[in-house]
Homo-oligomer: A and B are copies of this chain.
């Protein structure tokens, strides 16, 4: 039975809008799933069409992660919420050293949301999933009344497989390790802020949103004993480093001059009074590893398109206070604290 005769008429992807019936579980829901979601995301596992999707276990050690995406605006230079939702969870899986394989996708749509926009978003998800080598194998769609949502929220959860001998975790940083970042900080957050209605500045910066599993695969192929991997998303580099310092019970000492920041990001932050160390990223990672293996790792990272600007930005030290400190480019010292309050709302 094809879509054409299962549902009288076709979903109006040009001018149609989400209405409450699309979330009712009834025929309108089924039509939306078939003519929009499955159209883009089709794969043999998703096609099982059951409440749960069955798949053969990919290995002995698995990893699971989830992220909800509530970004505003939904479309931004370099991506949209659809591609972001795939990258967000793929990256969180990859940060355990895992090979991400399967994603679920949960959509919360606001009544009145244009089907054309939803179509674009789901197409981006499909593209991002293919590029990252993952499959979206199960999903869910809910609709909330106008004024009870914000266009579309997307949750993704994912499963990946990891080599059982690997031990990559936020608690493994130790004095003598160095801190590497895979590229310039703050691109994603600045790209999003630039498209905010009430901020409105012009920049050539695009979001760095990307799947990092390829880069990580290359890193794992080296001899290096990677202690920690984490993507500095919400809260930026500063907050993520504080998390790691806290989790491992260490201090971190950064060198401001070593932190790669694009001039346009730097300028945008000056303009808005923000600190780029607190601006979100979605296609960058922090790697902590023993100092003696860092150069080798750095060389491999720089071979990968997503790691070409990789740099060592600091070192792990002993510190009973678990401070992240920084030698400023100016020559002084300061704490780089957790983000307090909110930097700017809703960047992932």
Copies per assembly? 2
A27 to B29 CA separation, bound complex (whole angstroms) = 40
A161 to B66 CA separation, bound complex (whole angstroms) = 19
Report if A20 contacts B (CB, 8 A).
yes
Cross-chain contact of A54 among B52, B96, B148 (Cβ < 8 A): B96
Cross-chain contact of A52 among B56, B92, B145, B235 (Cβ < 8 A): B92
How big is chain A's contact interface, by range?
35 or more
A257 to B339 CA separation, bound complex (whole angstroms) = 62
Report if A104 contacts B (CB, 8 A).
yes
A108 to B53 CA separation, bound complex (whole angstroms) = 25
Report if A153 contacts B (CB, 8 A).
yes
Q: Is the interface of A mostly helix, strand, loop or mixed?
A: mixed
Q: Among A58, A61, A346, which residue has the most Cβ atoms of chain B within 10 A? A: A346
A234 to B26 CA separation, bound complex (whole angstroms) = 8
Given A70-B148, A145-B345, 18 more contacts at CB 8 Å? A1-B246, A6-B246, A24-B234, A24-B235, A24-B345, A25-B235, A28-B340, A48-B169, A49-B247, A50-B170, A52-B65, A52-B93, A52-B158, A64-B104, A66-B139, A67-B106, A104-B157, A157-B157
Give the B-binding residues of A (Cβ under 8 A). Answer: 1, 6, 20-21, 23-30, 48-70, 72, 91-93, 95-96, 98, 102, 104-108, 137-140, 142, 144-145, 147-150, 153, 155, 157-162, 169-171, 230-231, 233-235, 239, 242-243, 246-247, 249, 280, 322, 337-343, 345-346
